[in-house]
Structure 1
C-alpha cells in the first residue's frame, strides 16, 4: 500500500477560471507533448541529433496526437460520464463499446498493453484477468492518467484511486503505479502546488519500494544535472521495449523537475531523451501544463492540435482535448456528476 507517513501538503484548488485554465493546460499539454515526441519515439538521443539536431518544435509535416491522446480522451469521456462513482464494470463496458467490439483503426489498438487487453476482452475474459498479458507493466495507463488528475484537482489520493479503477482492465503492478503517480501529480499541479510538492504527491500515491517509485526518485534527484543524467539514471540499457512504466514515468518527472515546471523546457527535455518519447513528453506536458496553464503553451504548438483523427481509436474521432477539459472542470454539469 502507498505510504501515509509523508503525505505532501497540497493547496486547495483555485476558482473555476483558474481550474479551467489549468485543465486546458494539462490536456492540451498532453496532446502537444504527444505530437512533439511522436517522431522521436523509440530513438536514442544520438539518433535524434543526427537526424534533427536538437528538436525545438514540430518536426512532422502534419503534427497530431497518437494513441496517447486518443486514450486520454477515452478515459476523460468515461470519467466525465461516471465521475467518482466510476467502477471496473463501467470501464470494462466502455472498452467493449468504444474499442473491442468495433473495428480498430490503422494502429490496431496501439501499444502492446492495449492489444493484449483487447485480445483478452475479445476472448471473453473480464477484469482483472483481462490485464494478464506480457505488457501489464507498460506506460499505457500513465499516458491516459492526466484526466483523473484534472477531475480530482487538489485531491491526489482520489485521482490515484480512480485511475487504478480505470487501469484494472488493462494493467497490473508497475503499470498501475505509473498511472497513479501521474494522476496524483497532475491533481497536485492542478491546485497550484510547487514542483517539489507535485513530485511528493506522485510518490505518496505509490508504494515506496516499487520500481516506479525508485525510478522517479532517481530521476528527480539528478534533474538539476540535465537530461543526460536523468536518462542515465532510469533507462534500462539494452532492453528493447521502450514502454516500461517505471522508465517512462521516471523520465517524464525528471524532465518536469529539470525544467522546474516550465512547459516548453519540460516537454523538449522529454522529447530529446528519446525512448518512448511521445508518452514521456505527453506526461511532462500534462504536468507542466497543469502547473503553468494553457497560456504557457506556445501558440504555434497549441494551434496545431485539432480534434482527434481516430487513427488508433475510431470512436474518438472528432473529440478535442479542450472539450474534455471543459467536461472535467467544476462548472460543467458532466464534471460534477
Structure 2
C-alpha cells in the first residue's frame, strides 16, 4: 500500500482529491508535528514505568523528569499510531472498516515476521481473531475490547481532522471497529476529538470539552474524564498542593484500586486528560505527570503528549527529548520499521504550497 496524503474539508472528499488548505493556517504543520512527536516522546518516557505504582517509580528513580534509559524507544503505542496514520493518509475521510481490516491483514496478521513483541491484549486478541478468519466487527469480540489500544493510536485522526472533533471521532471509530468495542471505542473518540480541538485552539479547557462532546454522558469514559479533570482543577486552585499531591488526587479520582489490568481505556484516558488539565497544556509538565502516575504509563504519557504537542506545537517539546526519537524499530510491528512519526505528521497535513505529498 502506498498511502497518499489527503485532507478532509467540511464534507468527505473523494479518494485522491486535492486537499484544501489546513485549518489553523501556517501553524498547522507545526502542531501536527507537535502532536505526533509528543505522542512518541510520551511513549518512550513512560515505557520504563509501565505497570508500576507511583511508589515503585519513586523508589527506583525518584521522580522521572527525563529519559531513565540510555537507549529510549517507543513501544507499540508509537508503531500503531504510525500504522493508523498511514492508513488515514491513504484513504482520508473515505476510510472504511474494510480498508482497516485489509490493512491489519496486509501489514500485521498475514505476515510471518517478528514475534509481535510488546503488543497489548486488545491487539493480540484482534490478531488471533483475524488469523482465525473472523471479520470486523466480530474481530473485536475478545476479552479486552475495552482496552486503551485505540486511544493510544488515536492522535493521527485529530491531526487529520484539525478543528473538527466530530469528524476525528467518526474516523477513529471506523479504525477501532476492527479491534475494539464499547468503552474502547469511547476512549479513542475522546483522544481523537481532543487532539482535533488542540490543533486549532489555545485553551486547554476547550480541548477537554471537545473530548467530552463525542462520548456518551453516562459512559465510564466520560465519568472518568470528568473526575480526573475536576481533581486536577481543584489541585491547581489549592496554593498548598504540591506536584505529588496533584498526581495523587488525579490518580485517586481515576484508578480502580486493586484491579489487575492497567490498560483500561476509561482509566488511561482519564489519567492522560487529568495530567493535561493539571499542567494547563504545558508539554513537559503534562507528560512528566502522566509518567509518574504509573499504571499504563507509556499510553497515558503518549496521549498527554499528543494533546499538549498539538496545543503548543513542536517547539514546546524539550529539544533533548525530541532528539531522542528516531525511526521506529519495528519491535512490535516489523512492517513499520524505519518510519518516523514526523513523516506521518507531514503526510497528514498539506505542505505550504498546498500540493499533496506522497508517502515514502
TM-score bracket relative to the smaller structure: over 0.9
- The structure 1 residue matched to 2:282, chosen from 259, 262, 279, is 262
Alpha-carbon distance, 1:292 to partner: 0.5
Asked whether 1:163 is paired with 2:186, we answer no
User: Helix, strand or coil for the counterpart of 1:238?
Assistant: coil
Aligned twin of 1:301: 321
CA deviations on 1:14-70 (whole Å, 9 max, x unpaired) are 21x300000000000000000000000000000000000000000011001100000
Counting matched residue pairs gives 324
Asked whether 1:253 is paired with 2:253, we answer no
In structure 2, what is the Cα distance between the partners aligned to 1:104 and 1:34? 24
Moved over 2 A (4+): 103-109
- The structure 1 residue matched to 2:311, chosen from 281, 291, 309, is 291
* Segment of structure 1 superposing worse, 218-227 or 244-253: 218-227
Unaligned runs of 5+ in 2: 1-21, 236-245
Alpha-carbon distance, 1:193 to partner: 3.9
Alpha-carbon distance, 1:330 to partner: 2.6
Aligned twin of 1:272: 292
Alpha-carbon distance, 1:334 to partner: 5.0
User: Helix, strand or coil for the counterpart of 1:59?
Assistant: coil
Asked whether the equivalents of residues 109 and 313 of structure 1 are also in contact (C-alpha less than 8 Å), the reply is no
- The structure 1 residue matched to 2:181, chosen from 172, 183, 193, is 172
Aligned twin of 1:212: 221
CA deviations on 1:114-156 (whole Å, 9 max, x unpaired) are 0000000000000000000000000000000000000000000
- The structure 2 residue matched to 1:138, chosen from 142, 147, 151, is 147
In structure 2, what is the Cα distance between the partners aligned to 1:23 and 1:98? 24
The structure that has the greater radius of gyration is 2
Asked whether 1:80 is paired with 2:89, we answer yes
In structure 2, what is the Cα distance between the partners aligned to 1:19 and 1:105? 36
In structure 2, what is the Cα distance between the partners aligned to 1:43 and 1:133? 25
Aligned twin of 1:232: 252
Aligned twin of 2:242: none
**Pairwise CA RMSD of aligned residues?**
1.3
Asked whether 1:203 is paired with 2:212, we answer yes
Alpha-carbon distance, 1:13 to partner: 3.1
User: Helix, strand or coil for the counterpart of 1:22?
Assistant: helix
Asked whether the equivalents of residues 75 and 118 of structure 2 are also in contact (C-alpha less than 8 Å), the reply is no
Asked whether 1:151 is paired with 2:160, we answer yes
In structure 1, what is the Cα distance between the partners aligned to 2:118 and 2:139? 15
Aligned twin of 2:23: 13
In structure 1, what is the Cα distance between the partners aligned to 2:319 and 2:118? 30
Asked whether the equivalents of residues 139 and 179 of structure 1 are also in contact (C-alpha less than 8 Å), the reply is yes
Unaligned runs of 5+ in 1: 1-11
Aligned twin of 2:356: 333
CA deviations on 1:304-333 (whole Å, 9 max, x unpaired) are 000010000000000000000000003351
Aligned twin of 2:68: 59
In structure 1, what is the Cα distance between the partners aligned to 2:71 and 2:129? 34
In structure 1, what is the Cα distance between the partners aligned to 2:141 and 2:101? 14
Asked whether the equivalents of residues 254 and 271 of structure 2 are also in contact (C-alpha less than 8 Å), the reply is yes
Structure 1 109/272 Cα, relative in aligned 2: closer, same or farther at 3 Å? closer
Aligned twin of 1:118: 127
Asked whether 1:243 is paired with 2:263, we answer yes
Alpha-carbon distance, 1:108 to partner: 3.8
Alpha-carbon distance, 1:109 to partner: 6.4
Aligned twin of 1:323: 343
User: Helix, strand or coil for the counterpart of 1:179?
Assistant: helix
- The structure 2 residue matched to 1:191, chosen from 172, 187, 200, is 200
Alpha-carbon distance, 1:107 to partner: 3.9
In structure 2, what is the Cα distance between the partners aligned to 1:86 and 1:147? 13
Asked whether the equivalents of residues 219 and 230 of structure 1 are also in contact (C-alpha less than 8 Å), the reply is yes
